[in-house]
């Protein structure tokens, strides 16, 4: 397990060792029925999926809370704005909203890269170790937070889109 995680043993070597230990057993194995090196790889992949999902979730929460501040500031500015004195504040709020939008798009791009890489690793594991990691990865990707990240307005959970839209709407009116 440590050698596989550190990179000292390749998937091919682990697959060869797993094949020698399990000659004659079915081609598809679960983590519970798999040899120790394969089971530890599957467990490591599951842990990585969990870590990636929790990172995405934390970034989404952070973005939403960061988007609430400009909304409150824009609302306060709209209530107290005079015709000429608020242009610097409007520009500042517009820049903050733009920065949050860029961070959301960056999170979306990074999540897509991570998902692509996780699918690639799962496919390699399926081919080399005879696991069903691809199915496991696809099931995990169908759950929260990935649908929200890929379509920031999906399933009614796209609060970030709503918040940024409200900020831009108020700023347009100013």
pLDDT in tens, 145-173: 777 666 655 544 577 788 888 888 888 88
Q: What is the CA radius of gyration of the chain?
A: 23
pLDDT number for residue 28: 43
Angle of the 87-129 helix axis to the 133-141 helix axis, nearest 10: 160
pLDDT at residue 165 in the model: 85
Taking the complete model, does pTM exceed 0.95, yes or no? no
Q: Which residues have CB under 8 Å from 61's CB, separation 6+?
A: none
What the block records as the tokens of 19 is 């094949």
- Tell me which residues of the chain have a pLDDT lower than 70: 1-36, 81-86, 148-157
The rounded distance, in Å, linking the Cα atoms of 15 and 6 is 16
pLDDT for 82 equals 63
């Amino acid at each position: 397990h440590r050698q596989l995680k550190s990179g000292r043993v390749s998937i091919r070597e682990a697959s060869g060792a797993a094949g020698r230990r399990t000659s004659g057993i079915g081609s598809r194995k679960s983590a519970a029925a798999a040899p120790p090196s394969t089971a530890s790889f599957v467990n490591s992949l599951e842990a990585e999926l969990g870590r990636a999902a929790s990172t995405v979730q934390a970034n989404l929460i952070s973005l939403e809370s960061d988007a609430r501040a400009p909304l409150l500031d824009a609302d306060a500015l709209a209530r107290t704005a005079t015709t000429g004195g608020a242009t610097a504040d409007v520009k500042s709020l517009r820049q903050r909203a733009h920065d949050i939008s860029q961070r959301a798009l960056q999170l979306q791009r990074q999540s897509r890269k991570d998902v692509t890489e996780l699918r690639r690793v799962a496919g390699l594991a399926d081919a080399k170790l005879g696991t069903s990691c691809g199915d496991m990865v696809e099931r995990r990707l169908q759950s929260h937070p990935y649908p929200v990240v890929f379509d920031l307005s999906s399933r009614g959970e796209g609060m970030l889109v709503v918040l940024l839209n409200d900020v831009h709407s108020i700023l347009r009116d100013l």
